[in-house]
Amino acid sequence: MSMQKRARMNNEDDCRDILVPSSDVISTVGASSSPDLSEPNLPSQSAVFSPVISDLELLESCPVALASAPEEWSCLTDLLPRSVNAEVEVSDTKVPQGTFSRDHGKKINYRIFDRKVEYAFEGRIDNIRSNGDELMKLNSLPDGGTGWHKFGKICVSRKEIAKGSNGTIVLEGIYEDRPVAVKRLVRAHCDVASNEIQILMSSDQHKNIVRYHGVEYDPDFVYLALEHCACNLDDLIQAHLDSSNNSAFRGDPASTDDYKIKLDSVRGMMQDVNLWRADGYPSPLLQKLMRNVVSGLSHLHDLRIIHRDLKPQNVLITKNRPFCAQLSDMGISKSLPEDKSSLGYHAGCGTSGWRAPELLLHGGRQTQAMDVFSLGCILCFFFTRGRHPFGENLERDYNIAHNKMDLSFVDIPEAHDLFSCLLNKDPKLRPKASEVLHHPFFWSSKTRLSFLSDVSNKVEFETRAGNLDLLNALESTAQSVFVGNWEDKIEPAVRAELWRRRHYDGSLVRHLLRAVRNVYSHHMEFPEEVKEILGPVDDALDAYFAIRFPRLLIESYRVVSQICIRKELLTGVLSK
């Protein structure tokens, strides 16, 4: 079909037929079909720009604006790189001149000149005189460009990073001279790509959301250029497990050679990364990664976005900038309407084993609480070296739906309490994402000691005023906090120094809190012998009491929470 014949078409139905390019139409304009990314040879000179040119020519020949294009093409105007006030110039006849790329904050106009593409950026013209220039750029790529293909600003290799559903794969790539991960989606799912771009453009200014760079396409695929990360959370955890147990997920491809090679690569990149201390507890770095995930989700929720598919594979780990975790894969994320707190009933979103119970039981309402449940599973996965609170792969959905949760392997009281709250079967009882980082699990040693001191001061004040609710609630936790007399767990030299200042009753939680408060406040005044036993402030001193009374902090926190004075106490503590 000639260009003149297509230009004469003024019927909307005819134009809709043109907008879906067939192989014969593509060959007519001299363009090849979508390149096979598995082909090890370089593309020919005549094919470097052919996928883009063919689509542009097809669009130019159509007298119908994109707004009236078929529904499956309606997302084209959304599939554009970030821009503040950018626009795509079109002619007076409303014929689209090109909507395939847009530089940040700049106007761009595409015109076709005898198989040459001219870019106009705010009056600056860069002419690509020949495809030989592009081949020189390809030759400068890793491996001399072998196996690489160029689509606009995105160069794509054949090296696969990850694989998703519906034909989606992630490949190594380059975007404007920076390494990127190229997410290739089947063109039929351009609505998913459009949605992901919109979500990322509104949220990726946050350091814990993966960065979006740009988009290109050919007749068959959409290519998203995203920030390149070292690995995902699942890979990171599996790489740190013993070689005899490379996968916490039975049935995962951990036994395949490719997966083992991938884990070996991750181990090489992360050989200086310590996720757990010698005693098996999470390292400060691991806790930082857990905070990153919470911060990223809190940011999305502040923007009224529900992620809808949180899982370890969608938590990416980067080492390029400060070591951190980032949330990714926003293809099925949704924004809440301004006047709504849910998206209605839907059971199909998310991944098996990571979905909230309300989605498994009759397709409950979709709220931000569904993300909080998935967050609880992910944080538990972090903490326990890849274990899941609802068991192995095949039994998880059933256990989630029937509230058969197992946290017996979580031996830190603060972690156990946090996971229990996040995984509450009732979505209304789960904390908000913005509240999670205020939980004692994430507190520093200084904050923990300050909180216990403030609780002690508060109970003394309330008791003198005749208000015994706080006192009675605290004393009811005595059997959980210690057995018998708490003074028996204190060294004689420390006990003597405490008694020198006041009298203590070893059967009272109130007096144990006072002892912690006095040691923290007067540590510098103690004899060197006592200070050596207690250790320096803050980390060692916190550990001294946490080892002897591991449940003191969480039981005090629960009491304060239950009698509704947590905010009053924490406001001063968390501001320090």
CATH number, domain containing residue 392: 1.10.510.10
Clarify whether residues 302 and 429 are in a common domain: yes
Q: What pLDDT, on the 0 to 100 scale, is given for residue 563?
A: 82
Clarify whether residues 424 and 466 are in a common domain: no
C-beta neighbour count of 434 within 10 angstroms: 15
Residue recorded with tokens 């078409």: 9
Clarify whether residues 493 and 344 are in a common domain: no
pLDDT above 90: percentage of residues in the chain: 52
What would the mean pLDDT of 144-161 be, rounded to a whole number? 85
| Window from 141-150, 263-272, 431-440 with minimum mean pLDDT | 141-150
Does 64 score more than 70 pLDDT? no
Rounded to whole angstroms, the Cα distance separating 432 from 434 reads 5
Domain residue limits at 56? 3-127
Query: Quick check: is 164 in a domain?
Result: no
| Residue 309 appears among annotated catalytic residues | yes
Query: Quick check: is 219 in a domain?
Result: no
Does 32 score more than 70 pLDDT? no
What would the mean pLDDT of 78-88 be, rounded to a whole number? 40
Nearest to 448 by CA among 304, 307, 547: 547
Rounded to whole angstroms, the Cα distance separating 576 from 573 reads 6
Rounded to whole angstroms, the Cα distance separating 224 from 80 reads 10
Average pLDDT, the chain: 77
Strand partners, 172: 181
Q: What pLDDT, on the 0 to 100 scale, is given for residue 542?
A: 96
Nearest to 79 by CA among 60, 95, 55: 55
Q: What pLDDT, on the 0 to 100 scale, is given for residue 282?
A: 86
Clarify whether residues 323 and 360 are in a common domain: yes
Give phi and psi for 291, each to the nearest 5. Answer: -65, -35
Query: Quick check: is 367 in a domain?
Result: yes
pLDDT digits (tens, 9 = 90+) for 326-354: 999 998 899 988 877 777 766 568 899 99
- Of 412, 441, 470, the residue that ends a domain is 441
What would the mean pLDDT of 254-261 be, rounded to a whole number? 71
pLDDT confidence tier of residue 271, bands split at 50, 70 and 90: confident
Among 6-15, 236-245, 467-476, top mean pLDDT goes to: 467-476
Clarify whether residues 313 and 296 are in a common domain: yes
C-beta neighbour count of 129 within 10 angstroms: 7
Residue recorded with tokens 């014969």: 24
Q: How many domains does the chain have?
A: 3
Q: What pLDDT, on the 0 to 100 scale, is given for residue 87?
A: 38
pLDDT digits (tens, 9 = 90+) for 542-575: 999 999 999 999 999 999 988 865 556 656 555 5
For position 472, which CATH number holds? 1.20.1440.180
Among 79-88, 147-156, 192-201, 549-558, top mean pLDDT goes to: 549-558
Q: What pLDDT, on the 0 to 100 scale, is given for residue 138?
A: 56
In the 8-state DSSP scheme, what is residue 425? S
The more confident residue out of 402 and 15 is 402
- Of 70, 92, 127, the residue that ends a domain is 127
pLDDT above 70: percentage of residues in the chain: 69
DSSP string for residues in 150-212: EETTEEEEEEEEEE-STT-EEEEEEETTEEEEEEEEEGGGHHHHHHHHHHHHHHTTSTTBPPE
DSSP string for residues in 289-341: HHHHHHHHHHHHHHTTEE-----GGGEEEE-SSSSEEEE---TT-EEPPTT-S
Q: At a CB cut-off of 8 Å and minimum separation 6, what does 352 contact? A: 396, 397
Nearest to 570 by CA among 453, 480, 476, 460: 453
pLDDT digits (tens, 9 = 90+) for 91-135: 333 323 333 333 443 333 333 333 333 333 333 333 333 445 555
The one catalytic residue among 309, 329, 371, 542: 309
Clarify whether residues 389 and 523 are in a common domain: no
pLDDT digits (tens, 9 = 90+) for 483-528: 999 999 999 999 999 999 899 999 999 999 999 999 999 999 999 9
| Window from 143-152, 225-234, 422-431, 565-574 with minimum mean pLDDT | 565-574
Diameter over CA atoms, the chain: 102
Clarify whether residues 458 and 424 are in a common domain: no
Give phi and psi for 410, each to the nearest 5. Answer: -95, 105
Does 56 score more than 50 pLDDT? no
Nearest to 373 by CA among 392, 383, 388, 387: 388
Clarify whether residues 423 and 542 are in a common domain: no
Q: What pLDDT, on the 0 to 100 scale, is given for residue 363?
A: 66
Query: Quick check: is 390 in a domain?
Result: yes
Phi-psi region of 175 (alpha: psi -120 to 50; beta: other; left: phi over 0): beta
Clarify whether residues 415 and 541 are in a common domain: no
Please answer whether residues 470 and 458 qualify as being in contact, where contact means their C-beta atoms are separated by less than 8 angstroms.
yes
Query: Quick check: is 190 in a domain?
Result: no
Q: Which two tokens stand for residue 374?
A: 């998935």
Clarify whether residues 397 and 512 are in a common domain: no
pLDDT confidence tier of residue 89, bands split at 50, 70 and 90: very low
Query: Quick check: is 504 in a domain?
Result: yes
CA distances from 343 to 318, 350, 419, 552 (A): 32, 14, 25, 41
Clarify whether residues 123 and 40 are in a common domain: yes
Query: Quick check: is 492 in a domain?
Result: yes
Q: At a CB cut-off of 8 Å and minimum separation 6, what does 357 contact? A: 364, 373, 400, 401, 403, 425
Strand partners, 155: 150, 174
Rounded to whole angstroms, the Cα distance separating 157 from 187 reads 19
Q: What pLDDT, on the 0 to 100 scale, is given for residue 280?
A: 75
pLDDT digits (tens, 9 = 90+) for 398-420: 999 999 999 999 999 999 999 99
- Of 395, 422, 441, the residue that ends a domain is 441
Please answer whether residues 325 and 317 qualify as being in contact, where contact means their C-beta atoms are separated by less than 8 angstroms.
yes
Q: What pLDDT, on the 0 to 100 scale, is given for residue 47?
A: 39
**Can you give the pTM of this predicted structure?**
0.74
Clarify whether residues 117 and 14 are in a common domain: yes
Query: Quick check: is 309 in a domain?
Result: yes
pLDDT confidence tier of residue 472, bands split at 50, 70 and 90: very high
Q: Which two tokens stand for residue 515?
A: 């002892």
C-beta neighbour count of 401 within 10 angstroms: 17
Among 41-45, 66-70, 163-167, 399-403, top mean pLDDT goes to: 399-403
Q: Which strand (E) or helix (H) includes residue 374? A: helix 368-383
